[in-house]
A and B are shown apart, each in its own frame.
Chain A
Amino acid sequence: DTAVSQTPKYLVTQMGNDKSIKCEQNLGHDTMYWYKQDSKKFLKIMFSYNNKELIINETVPNRFSPKSPDKAHLNLHINSLELGDSAVYFCASSQGGSSYEQYFGPGTRLTVT
């Protein structure tokens, strides 16, 4: 059983397009996250949701919009994709906040051409 799943695993698209990445967790966790890992491998938090409520919204362009239809899902929609958006995007979940282990999805490798 996959604990945290993401789709798609790879995404290649052109500049200016709009795309979505889906994330689902079956761990019963109430907190979910989106992270971006750039080419230098630096993992940076983008958003955090707790019980469908947005808790953290880092300095991320408003072209990025997270949506949490329920506790088990946190999707990421990106409008007007730019070259600099190319990265690996990881979804994660935890039971509670920062005191708890985070379980990561396998990542979505986004390439913008």
Chain B
Amino acid sequence: RKEVEQDPGPFNVPEGATVAFNCTYSNSASQSFFWYRQDCRKEPKLLMSVYSSGNEDGRFTAQLNRASQYISLLIRDSKLSDSATYLCVVGKYNNNDMRFGAGTRLTVKP
């Protein structure tokens, strides 16, 4: 089993759609959780951290379920500029070890 698993995708959605990505992680000792975004042929960039209480940043909402070892990302009112690969990232507390999921590709179409 991979340490971090994501929906394989790709997701092709029209502008304005709501899309949800799921991620599961295998190491129950994991303490930090993130969603990164990677555009084609670019470096990954932090989209948002994920907290136990859930957090929202504009059109983006992240949720964490520690019991199920599950992370989600919800994008509302999709824009063309949201087209990218979304990477689920999990780390151990106070440790340099970060594990990336394989990513889920999103294409938002007009």
User: A-side interface residues toward B, CB under 8 Å?
Assistant: 31, 33, 35, 40-45, 48, 50, 55-56, 90, 96-99, 101-102, 104-107
Interface members, chain B 14-56 (any A CB < 8 Å)? 31-32, 34, 42-46, 49
Bound: A50/B98 CA distance, A: 14
Chain B hits for A106, CB < 8 A: 42-43
Chain A hits for B34, CB < 8 A: 101
Known: A41-B103, A45-B98, A55-B96. A97 touches B46 (CB 8 A): no
* B101 CB → nearest A CB, Å: 9
A-B contact count (CB 8 A): 63
Partner of B44, one of A42, A55, A97, A104: A104
Chain B hits for A96, CB < 8 A: 94
Chain A hits for B31, CB < 8 A: 98-99
Of B63-71, B72-80, B84-92, the one with at least 4 CB within 8 A of chain A: B84-92
Known: A41-B85, A41-B103, A99-B91. A105 touches B96 (CB 8 A): no
Question: Is A97 in contact with B96, judged by CB distance below 8 angstroms?
Answer: yes
Question: Is A99 in contact with B94, judged by CB distance below 8 angstroms?
Answer: yes
- The number of residues on chain B lying at the interface, defined by a beta carbon within 8 Å of a beta carbon of chain A, is 23
Question: Is A107 in contact with B100, judged by CB distance below 8 angstroms?
Answer: no
Question: Is B102 in contact with A42, judged by CB distance below 8 angstroms?
Answer: yes
Partner of B46, one of A44, A102, A105: A102
Known: A98-B91, A99-B31. A45 touches B99 (CB 8 A): yes
- Is residue B95 contacting chain A, with contact meaning CB distance below 8 A? yes
Chain B hits for A45, CB < 8 A: 97-100
The interface centre, meaning the residue of B87, B98, B99 with most chain A CB atoms within 10 A of its CB, is: B98
Can you spell out 21 A-B residue pairs with CB atoms less than 8 angstroms apart? A31-B96, A35-B100, A41-B103, A43-B44, A43-B87, A44-B100, A45-B100, A48-B96, A56-B96, A97-B91, A97-B93, A97-B94, A97-B95, A98-B95, A99-B32, A101-B34, A101-B46, A104-B44, A106-B42, A106-B43, A107-B42
